[in-house]
């Protein structure tokens, strides 16, 4: 999930910086440098956010499965024989 967020946010930041530079009429080198730095920064932020989101979803699913397993009845024949 981190790589996907990284790619999306990086490219969005790059394109937004290019658009802003074109609208404001900046020099080509300055606009491209700013867009490239934005891509790197937002790709890193996107990776962290994506990893965090993946971790949160994974923990939620594990907790839900654990709760469902706890709620299962224990009156199975194997459990009755062991007791």
Looking at residue 83, its pLDDT comes to 55
Q: In whole angstroms, what is the distance from residue 26 CA to residue 29 CA?
A: 8
Q: How far apart, in Å, are the Cα atoms of 12 and each of 47, 55, 70, 76? A: 14, 24, 44, 55
39 has a pLDDT exceeding 90: yes
Domain definitions of the chain by residue range: 2-71
Mean pLDDT of the chain: 90
pLDDT digits (tens, 9 = 90+) for 50-83: 999 999 999 999 999 999 988 888 776 665 565 5
């Amino acid at each position: 999930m981190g790589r996907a967020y990284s790619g999306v946010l990086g490219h969005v930041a790059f394109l937004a910086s290019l658009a802003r530079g074109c609208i404001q009429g900046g020099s080509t080198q300055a606009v491209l440098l700013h867009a490239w730095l934005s891509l790197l920064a937002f790709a890193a932020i996107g990776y962290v956010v994506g990893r965090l989101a993946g971790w949160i979803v994974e923990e939620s699913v594990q907790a839900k499965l654990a709760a469902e397993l706890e709620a299962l009845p224990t009156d199975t024949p194997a459990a009755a024989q062991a007791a």
